[in-house]
Structure 1
Amino acid sequence: MSRSEPLSQEQRESALKDIQGPDRSVIVPAAKALSEDRTTTSRLLELLDVESHVDARHGILYALSWHADLGTWDLMVRILADPQEAPNVRGQAAEGLSYMFYQVKLDSKEAEAAIKALLAALKDPSPEVRYCAINTLGATGHLPLIPVLKEMLADQTPVPGWVGTVGEEASRALDWIGRAHSQRLKDGL
């Protein structure tokens, strides 16, 4: 999801201003615009350091997720594992990892740390966190995760704002994991 050219300076500054604050109806379009402009990664990281409002943090992480910048990997893992963060923020961090997994080797310490955090997230009380963690585990292409995903099929908790239940997402993740594995082999990862 990348634009052919970055936002204009005026559009960028307006979106960076709008993403900060309590009004979700303003944050969402700002996050979408910033998600398409990878030149804003460093500014978004600065905002995330000081922003405490949940919707703003979620919007910032949404934009950063689409940048798929490996420089945000450790941040996404930390946020996912932080029980002080709101569930939608932690879920967004899990989703952000899914967009980057194709760039890391599964035997790396980065992948190991992320998989550990994702596996822990499967026990989270929030169905949104579990759902997003399952989605990302499917994106890893790491076949040893198949038994864990199969166990999650039994979780039929609906997830408001997402499609279906946690278990239905596990079913989709089981379909994806094989394709992701095949792609990793093609890419030499």
Structure 2
Amino acid sequence: MSPNEKEPLSEAQRESALEAIVGSDRATIDPAAKLLSGDPTTTDRLIPLLDTVSSADARQGILYALSWHGDLRAWELMVRILANPQEDPVVRGQAAEGIAYMFSQVRPGTARFESAAKALLSALKDPSLEVRFGAIFALGESNHLPFVPVLEALVNDQTPVPGWGETIGEKAAAAIESLTWGKT
């Protein structure tokens, strides 16, 4: 459940947010995404929007809302978006974050897990810091200890990630901590 959820949306609020999230104004997209993130009844309406909306801001907002729904129907879509170099890096980073929030529902060795692992490991080499940062976070949420050596290789990378206040190495160290917490 979203930390943004306060009380169920009215039908008017839901419709207004769905209209705003596909707009062109970041100032209305962000609040709409936050509202919709707390309303998992909108999953069926948000997923198809990704087939028609091309604005990076709107696509990121839609993925943000879907990330909090925890609905695995969005999993393959997020994996495809993450793996698509034609997508805007901010959209791909948001897809990685969405995968992170759903990893607890996916078991290692399954096709779902393997497709996400392949996309995330590839994203670690992406030229975009936003994409790499999101991939590191997702790997840390995977609960899959074999990712630890991959993350350890990044710990000394002191490249700052604009807008996040952390370096690649700091995020990798946090991901390792997340993976190994309580397992020693």
Using the size of structure 1 for normalisation, the TM-score is 0.92
Which deviates more, 147-156 or 26-35? 147-156
Deviant stretches of 4+, over 3 Å: 1-5
* Residue 16 (structure 1) shift: 0.5
* Residue 163 (structure 1) shift: 2.9
Higher fraction of helix: 1
Q: What are the Cα deviations for residues 101-126 of structure 1, in whole angstroms up to 9, with x where unaligned?
A: 10111111110110010000000000
Percent identical among aligned pairs is 61
Q: 2:121 aligns with which of 113, 119, 134?
A: 119
Correspondence for 1:141: 143
Q: What are the Cα deviations for residues 77-115 of structure 1, in whole angstroms up to 9, with x where unaligned?
A: 000000000001000000000111101111111101100
CA contact (8 A) 1:6 1:38 kept: no
1:65-144 map, 5 Å? 65-144=67-146
Using the size of structure 2 for normalisation, the TM-score is 0.94
* Residue 21 (structure 1) shift: 1.7
SS at match of 2:160: coil
The amino acid of 2:63's aligned partner reads L
The amino acid of 1:74's aligned partner reads E
* Residue 62 (structure 1) shift: 0.3
- Distance across 2 between alignment mates of 1:123 and 1:116: 12
**Unpaired stretches in structure 2, ≥5 consecutive residues:** none
The amino acid of 1:119's aligned partner reads L
Which deviates more, 150-159 or 106-115? 150-159
Correspondence for 1:187: none
Q: How many residues align?
A: 181
